[in-house]
Amino acid sequence: MNREKRTEIFTRWRNANPKPTTELNYSNPFELLIAVILSAQATDVGVNKATDKLYPVANTPETIYALGVKGLSEYIKTIGLYNSKAKNVIATCKMLIDLHNSQVPNNREDLEALPGVGRKTANVVLNTAYGHPTMAVDTHIFRISNRTKIAPGKNVIEVEKRLVRLIPEEFLIDAHHWLILHGRYVCMARKPKCGECMIYDLCEFNKKTA
């Protein structure tokens, strides 16, 4: 796919949705970090249901840490893998308190050192909370990048690096959200809604290899 096509694709997405954001509910970087940790192998809707009950009670490293693993588990037990996630969140809160003055780090190294935080989670926080031009490649973005040929790659890291390199700079801050929303609601894995797709004429999807 050439630069002109990519530019037109992202221009259309921007015109349709000028200020895209995550569908996770949060009001500060810490709430976002916890929500993203909880969202692994879970839906945003499911995470929001849990955090909508949790955050009015505890939404700082100190207050969540005070709940302990057992107390936190009661709030997030509707989310998959809640036991391991509760342990990671409590350990992360402890590290934030001890090492970062209860603040969420604004750099990849410190973020990825937190329990339960991998590259994708760090990228979401850096992009959504702090405005870094990072690309958190989930299953939706990996699929869209390869299917449309916006930035095909054999693995997540390869796709991430190609997206950051190939997407025109003016779109980079918001590109992560447009790609996820497109994959979530239009270009689904099994039955993409090509008839409803605003970039259908630009897409290089080969249906024979889908």
DSSP 3-state assignment of 66? helix
Question: What is the amino acid identity at position 207?
Answer: K
**45 burial type by CB count under 10 A (0-12 exposed, 13-18 middle, 19+ buried):** exposed
Residue 170 Cα distances to 14, 128, 152, 159, angstroms: 10, 16, 21, 19
Q: How far apart are CA 114 and CA 112, in angstroms?
A: 5
Considering the candidates 138, 149, 191, 207, report the single residue annotated as catalytic: 138
Considering the candidates 49, 70, 110, 120, report the single residue annotated as catalytic: 120
The 10 Å Cβ neighbour count of residue 203 is: 19
| Catalytic (active site) residue 174 | no
| Catalytic (active site) residue 138 | yes
The 10 Å Cβ neighbour count of residue 15 is: 9
| Active site residues per annotation | 120, 138
